[in-house]
Every structure is written in structure tokens, then in C-alpha cells.
């Protein structure tokens, strides 16, 4: 039995785009334009085991959405191969769609003017869900996503968070084996985001569903995934446990120090200053600095009110990662302060 939900080999995809030449002359500048080939994916290869949760990361335009659309059969690649649950997505789209779910943040599956329950019923028939199971699953999703007061109202009257949760439920009602989520929590309020993430983790634990999440939201990565796959300009630049991203920059720790009186303390001698305010500083220090006598002496001195030592924020680590990437391309990125 194949343990892999997804196997991708050297997938490539390009688009033709156009640049309009701007100018003062109304007509000529509109009529003249240059065509450009954008290489969205330049040969990406990876595999995902069944039951994994993988976060797909990358800056805007890195190829995340293109990759998801190729793996769901929406797009056809220029070259390369992919097998998703044993299907070639762009050739066996209908059969694959029966076993996978897709949550697109930018588009909804729900009928705009109708209550969400109508869309859920439609999904029931579309995926051939048994009536008893349908009601059980509906009750489950309405309960965990707190939609009991919502799903009988017209979708257009719902808040963005409520709509996203309904869309999420609609896409998962048929309990697919593999789910793609393309920015599912974008624009969603905090309680709804937590509800979505909790549901996702619960489904994975209970049913062993594989999740691929394309996201910019750091909390999605921190809470949900063990593994990250980072794309940059159409190439895979990192694939592995998220803890390994931080380890690329050495054994770093983050320290927050609240001073009584900072005075003339040369704080930068202990590490990299990430943030500095009056009587407050956030430092990035090498792991060994914790045992440094001078540093320990500072922390236990009367100058310091309180301090907190922790692992570096993953968002900050990711920012360092992107900076390093840009630097390797000869682009100076402004230091984040």
C-alpha cells in the first residue's frame, strides 16, 4: 500500500503576463504592452505521507497557489509529474475530487443569497454522503465551529469569519482523505481562527486526514504543522521540520529584559538587539550566552526588573530566513526593527 498522499516530481508551470507601459499619452500607453513569461514553478519535487500536516510557505508570488492548483487538477503543468492519492490530478480530476477537499480563501463554495444549510445539502448530493452520516457530520461541524446560530442564515448576512467557517465545513463534509487549504484564515477574527485550527487538528487526530496549508499566518504554522515547505520564486528552498528552520541560524534564544534603569548598559555586547524601547529591550542571543557569567550578572542585577527567555518567535525566524535568501540573491533587505 502506498503510504504517500502526494508525490511530486520536477513540476513546472509558466504563465504569460503583460506589462502595460504607463505614460502621459492616454491612447498610446494603453495600446503598447510587453509580454513577459512568469515562471511560477521551476521544477518542484517533494512527497507528503498520509496523515501529515504540511505548511506551504513563501512570499507573495512564490508559487504556493499555483502548486495547490496543480495538485488539485485546476491547472495543467508544463512538465513534471504528480500523483495525488494515486491519481494524476489534471487527468483524473473528477475521481480525485471525490476523495479530496479544497478550501480556497479567495473563493467560496456557498450560495451567496441562501442559508449555508442549502449549500451543505448540495454537497451531500454532490459527494454522495449517506443521510445519517451527513446529519452526524453536520452536527459535529456546527458544534466545533460554533455555527448553530448561523447556518440557517443567508451567507451574505454572515461575517467574514462565519462565512469562512461555513465554507470550511462545506469543503470537509465528505470527510476527504486529503485537504488543501489556500490561506483559509485570511481576514478571519481570532476566535474563528482558533476554531478552524482546533477543528483541523481534531480531524487529523480522529480520521488521519492529510492537510496541506498554504498560509502567511504564522500562528497557522506554529499551531498546526510539524513540517514546512518553503517556496521561493518557484523553487523549493526548504523542506523539513519547522524547528530546523531556526537551527539554520544556530542555537538562538530570545530574551526580553525589563529594566529599572537601563543607564549606559552596552546591551548589544550580549547579542543582536531586535527591539529597543525606554527600559525595554528584546535581544537575540546565542544559546551559550545564558551561561555567560557577565550576562547572568546583568540579569540578576538591580537594574533589571524582570526578564523572559524563550525560543525565537517562528515569524522572526522566517523573516531571517527570507532575508538570508534575498541576501544570497544580492538584494539588501531592510533590517526588521
Partner 1 sequence: MSFYREIEPYIGALLIQMKETLSYRSDFVMQIFMRLGFPAITIAAWAAIYGATNSSTIGGLSLMSMIEYFLVTTVVFIVFFNDALWDMQWLVQSGDISAVLLKPTRFPLNIFVGGTAVTAIYFATIGVPILAFTIWLFHTQMTVSTIAVFSAYMMISLLIGFFASFTLGCLAIYFIDIGGLGMAYNWVTVWFAGGVVPLSLFPSSISSVLMSLPWAYQGYIPVSVLTGKISVAAAVALMPIGIAWLLILFAMAFVAWRFTKRYMDVAGV
Partner 2 sequence: MMENIRKYIIIFALQQLYDWKDRLQYRMQFAVFIAYSSLVPITSYVFVTVLYSVSGGIPGWGYYQLMFLTSVNNTAIAVLYYLFSIRGTYDKLKRGGLDIYLIRPVPIVISLLSPGNKYFIASVLGGIVLMVYTILHLSFTPIELIAFVLALAAGNIAYLFFLLFFVFAWYKWFTAGYWMANMNDIITDAGTWPLSIFGIFGAFVLTVMLPIGVAVYFPALIFTGKVSALTYIAIIFVAISLAAIFYKLFKIALSSYNSAAG
Give the residues lining the site for partner 1 (CB under 8 A): 20, 26-27, 29-31
Give the whole-angstrom CA distance, residue 190 versus residue 185.
9
Which is it for strands 235-241 and 252-259: parallel, antiparallel or unpaired? unpaired
Quote the least distance from Cβ 30 to partner 1, whole Å: 4
Give dist(CA 205, CA 199) in Å, integer: 10
Nearer CB in complex with partner 1: 2/29:
29
Least gap, CB of 231 to partner 2 (angstroms)? 13
The neighbouring-strand residues paired with 41 are: 13
Specify the stretch interacting with partner 2 by CB under 8 A; choose among 118-126, 130-138, 258-266, 311-319: 118-126
* Binder of residue 112, out of partner 2, partner 1, none (CB less than 5 to 8 A by kind): partner 2
Residue 34 engages partner 2 in binding (rule: CB under 8 A)? no
Work out the burial of residue 179: count CB atoms within 10 Å of its CB; fewer than 13 is exposed, 13-18 middle, 19 or more buried.
buried
The neighbouring-strand residues paired with 321 are none
- 205 contact partners, CB below 8 Å, separation of at least 6: none
d(CA 241, CA 254): 20
Using the rule CB under 8 A, which residue among 35, 128, 149, 328 binds partner 2?
A: 128
Q: Does 84 bind partner 2 (CB under 8 A)?
A: no
Binding status of residue 88 toward partner 2 by CB under 8 A: no
Closest to partner 1 by CB, 32 or 206: 32
Count, in order, helices (H) and strands (E) of the chain: 11, 13
Residues interacting with partner 2, by CB under 8 A?
Answer: 15-18, 38, 40, 65-66, 69, 72-76, 90, 93-95, 97-98, 100, 102, 104, 106-109, 111-114, 118-119, 121-122, 125-128, 154
Amino acid at each position: 500500500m502506498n503510504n504517500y498522499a502526494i508525490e511530486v516530481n520536477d513540476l513546472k508551470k509558466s504563465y504569460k503576463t503583460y506589462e502595460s507601459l504607463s505614460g502621459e499619452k492616454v491612447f498610446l500607453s494603453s495600446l503598447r504592452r510587453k509580454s513577459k513569461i512568469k515562471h511560477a514553478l521551476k521544477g518542484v519535487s517533494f512527497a507528503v505521507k498520509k496523515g501529515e500536516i504540511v505548511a506551504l510557505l513563501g512570499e507573495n508570488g512564490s508559487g504556493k497557489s499555483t502548486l495547490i492548483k496543480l495538485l488539485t487538477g485546476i491547472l495543467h503543468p508544463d512538465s513534471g509529474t504528480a500523483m495525488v492519492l494515486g491519481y494524476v490530478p489534471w487527468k483524473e480530476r473528477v475521481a480525485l475530487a471525490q476523495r479530496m477537499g479544497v478550501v480556497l480563501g479567495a473563493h467560496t463554495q456557498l450560495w451567496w443569497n441562501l442559508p449555508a444549510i442549502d449549500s451543505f445539502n448540495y454537497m451531500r448530493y454532490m459527494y454522495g454522503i449517506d443521510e445519517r452520516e451527513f446529519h452526524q457530520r453536520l452536527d459535529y461541524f456546527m458544534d466545533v465551529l460554533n455555527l448553530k446560530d448561523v447556518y440557517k442564515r443567508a451567507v451574505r448576512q454572515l461575517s467574514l469569519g462565519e462565512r469562512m467557517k461555513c465554507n470550511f465545513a462545506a469543503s470537509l463534509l465528505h470527510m476527504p482523505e486529503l485537504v488543501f487549504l489556500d490561506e483559509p484564515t485570511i481576514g478571519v477574527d481570532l476566535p474563528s481562527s482558533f476554531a478552524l485550527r482546533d477543528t483541523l487538528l481534531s480531524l487529523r487526530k480522529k480520521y488521519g486526514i492529510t492537510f496541506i496549508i498554504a498560509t502567511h499566518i504564522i500562528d497557522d504554522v506554529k499551531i498546526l504543522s510539524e513540517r514546512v515547505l518553503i517556496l521561493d520564486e518557484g523553487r523549493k528552498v526548504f523542506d523539513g521540520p519547522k524547528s530546523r528552520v531556526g537551527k539554520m541560524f544556530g542555537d538562538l534564544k530570545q530574551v526580553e529584559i525589563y529594566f529599572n534603569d537601563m543607564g549606559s548598559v552596552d546591551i548589544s555586547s550580549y547579542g543582536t538587539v531586535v527591539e529597543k524601547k525606554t527600559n525595554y529591550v528584546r535581544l537575540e542571543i546565542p544559546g551559550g550566552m545564558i551561561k555567560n557569567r557577565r550576562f547572568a550578572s546583568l540579569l540578576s542585577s538591580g537594574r533589571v526588573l524582570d526578564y523572559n527567555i524563550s525560543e525565537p518567535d517562528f515569524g522572526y525566524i522566517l523573516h531571517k530566513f527570507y532575508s538570508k535568501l534575498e541576501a544570497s540573491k544580492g538584494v539588501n533587505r531592510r533590517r526588521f526593527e
